[in-house]
Amino acid sequence: MPIIAPSILSADFLHLGNEIEMIDKSVAEWIHIDVMDGMFVPNISFGLPIVKAVRKATKKLLDVHLMIVQPERYFGAFRDAGADILTFHYEASVHINRSIAEIHELGMKAGVVLNPHTPVNSLIDIIHDLDLVLIMSVNPGFGGQKFIENTYRRISDLKQMVYNTGKIILIEVDGGIDFSNAGKLLEAGADVLVVGNTVFSSRNPLETISKLSKIK
Ligand code: DX5
Ligand code: ZN
């Protein structure tokens, strides 16, 4: 069964408590939290206080996706706010080995995110140290964008790379995921599906999460 990670970027911020309660009741195992700084991506979303507030309201794993420049400045702060999993962008990082080690020392799971243009093969010398890889299937910055089709091939290439390590390294996919592509993504080798718009704009988000988790 895939791990479903609802992205609260598409949630109703005025009623965030209700939205978290809904996810908490659902079969989703992770909550995906998109942090944007208006520098690495054109948009600004939210930061530490939201992570802290969500942490108080749920025991689900908090999967924090940092879309910020020099992400290493904030690893400790996000751990203190309650993050369980921290991912940062390959394109925003100069010393990935050091950053991964720091996240691990802080007691969190660590992952690298690849923008749609970054070759999967760029991870060949770091893959062994990662707990997960997040493949962007849109250009990061906004919810509700159109899924990029070459993601399937990128996932199967990455799956092979992960297989060669002999380790368990999760493949997470983020952006434009819906019922038309989720099955194919899982078939290609995805383990975790981040879903924003498809969940929060549906009439029954709880049911949508449940249906997504049953896709094979
Ligand atoms: C995009 C974010 C995504 C976003 C996904 O930059 O990283 O997590 O919330 O939203 P949907 O599923 O609507 O594309
Ligand atoms: Zn994200």
Nearest CA to ligand 1 atom 6: 140
- The pLDDT score that the predictor gives to residue 153 is 98
| Run means of pLDDT, 10 residues per run, the chain, 216 residues | 97 98 98 98 98 98 98 98 98 98 98 98 98 98 97 98 98 98 98 98 98 95
34 has catalytic annotation: yes
Atom number, ligand 1, closest to the C-alpha of residue 43: 6
192-195/170-174 β-pairing: parallel
Neighbours of ion ligand 2 (CB under 5 A): 34, 65, 174
- The pLDDT score that the predictor gives to residue 163 is 98
What is the spatial distance between Cα 156 and Cα 163, in angstroms, rounded to a whole number? 10
- The pLDDT score that the predictor gives to residue 66 is 98
**What ligand is nearest to the CA atom of residue 193?**
1
Residue type (1 letter), 88: F
Domain ranges for the chain:
3-213
- The pLDDT score that the predictor gives to residue 216 is 85
What pTM does this model have? 0.98
129 has catalytic annotation: no
Nearest one of 70, 57, 42 to 8, comparing CA atoms = 57
* CATH class, 3-213 region: alpha beta
Nearest one of 107, 29, 23, 33 to 64, comparing CA atoms = 33
- The pLDDT score that the predictor gives to residue 114 is 98
* Residue 175, ligand 1, Cβ within 6 A: yes
Structure tokens given for 182: 């989720």
Distance of CA 143 from the midpoint of ligand 1 (Å) = 4
- The pLDDT score that the predictor gives to residue 123 is 98
Contacts of 91 (CB under 8 A, 6+ apart): 40, 115, 118
Integer angstrom CA distances of residue 172 from 40, 134, 189, 194: 20, 5, 9, 7
What is the spatial distance between Cα 157 and Cα 122, in angstroms, rounded to a whole number? 12
Per-residue DSSP letter, 175: S
* Residue 195, ligand 1, Cβ within 6 A: yes
* Residue 82, ligand 1, Cβ within 6 A: no
Distance of CA 5 from the midpoint of ligand 2 (Å) = 9
